[in-house]
Amino acid sequence: MVFKGSKPLSESNRRFVILNITVLVFLYMGSTLIPNIWVAFQFTGATTGLSLGFIFPALIALRSNPNQRKESVGLRKKILPWAMLVMALVVSIIGVLGNLLNLTTGNN
């Protein structure tokens, strides 16, 4: 969904290498800068759980067409995925901000 119109990742060596280097740099920086593993678990739980449970299914529902034809899906069938997506993003932002607040105030 992000690289729409580009070649698949298995065929694009340059994009594959760039994405892997980016992920490895973030992992290395995170592993050296985070002093406590529970901090990483808090942020992972606040983002991954909501992504797997609510954000990805909502995006799939918005992208799929149940009739497998090129006709558009009605507004009524798009309301629930959009509501799920908006609520999941709000809850995820609140969770991340709560984790940041706990880090800054020292209430680990």
Angstrom distance (rounded) from CA 105 to CA 108: 8
Tokens of 9: 């990742």
CA angle 14/16/22 to nearest 5° reads 100
Residue 6 main-chain phi, psi, to 5 deg: -95, 165
57 with 20, same domain? no
Angstrom distance (rounded) from CA 58 to CA 56: 5
Q: Which domain holds residue 97?
A: 36-105
64 with 86, same domain? yes
* pTM for the whole structure: 0.57
29 with 79, same domain? no
61 with 21, same domain? no
60 with 14, same domain? no
Please give the tally of structural domains in the chain: 2
Kindly state the DSSP code that residue 10 receives in the 8-state scheme. T
pLDDT digits (tens, 9 = 90+) for 27-78: 898 888 877 778 778 888 778 888 888 888 888 888 876 665 555 667 777 8
